[in-house]
Structure 1
Amino acid sequence: MFKNILLPTDGSDQSLRAAQLGIAIAKQLGARVHAYHVLAPLAAIAYFSDSIRHSPEDYRSEAVSRAQRQLDAIEALAKEADVPFDGGYTFDKRPYAAIVGAARQFDCDLIVMGIHGHTGIDRLVMGGETNKVLSCSDIPVLVCR
Structure 2
Amino acid sequence: MFKSILFPTDGSDLSEKVTATVMEFARLHQSRITAVTVIQPMLMPTLGDGAAVLDAGQYEVQMQSTARDHINKVAAAASAAGVPFEGIVATSTNPADEIVQAAKKYGCDLIVMASHGRTGLSKLLLGSETQSVLSHTSLPVLVLH
In structure 2, the gaps of 5 or more residues are none
Whole-angstrom CA distance in 2 between matches of 1:47 and 1:76: 42
Residue 87 of structure 1: aligned partner: 87
**One-letter amino acid of the structure 2 residue matched with residue 93 of structure 1:** T
Contact 1:7 1:18 survives alignment (8 Å): no
> How big is the shift at 1:47?
8.6
Question: For the structure 1 residues 46 and 130, does the alpha-carbon distance in structure 2 shift closer, same or farther, using more than 3 Å as the test?
Answer: farther
> How big is the shift at 1:17?
2.8
Q: Which secondary structure does the structure 2 equivalent of 1:143 belong to? A: strand
Whole-angstrom CA distance in 2 between matches of 1:97 and 1:13: 23
Contact 1:4 1:32 survives alignment (8 Å): yes
> How big is the shift at 1:25?
1.1
Q: Which secondary structure does the structure 2 equivalent of 1:45 belong to? A: coil
The Cα offsets for residues 10-47 of structure 1, whole Å up to 9 and x where unpaired, read as 11122223332221111011110011000010102189
Relative to the length of structure 1, the TM-score reads 0.89
Check if 1:71 corresponds to 2:81: no
Question: For the structure 1 residues 46 and 18, does the alpha-carbon distance in structure 2 shift closer, same or farther, using more than 3 Å as the test?
Answer: farther
Aligned length: 142
Identity %: 36
> How big is the shift at 1:50?
4.3
In structure 1, the gaps of 5 or more residues are none
Relative to the length of structure 2, the TM-score reads 0.89
Segment of structure 1 superposing worse, 82-91 or 126-135: 126-135
Q: Which secondary structure does the structure 1 equivalent of 2:45 belong to? A: helix
Segment of structure 1 superposing worse, 89-98 or 11-20: 11-20
Q: CA RMSD in A?
A: 2.1
**One-letter amino acid of the structure 2 residue matched with residue 58 of structure 1:** Q
Residue 142 of structure 1: aligned partner: 142
Runs of 4+ in structure 1 over 6 Å off: none
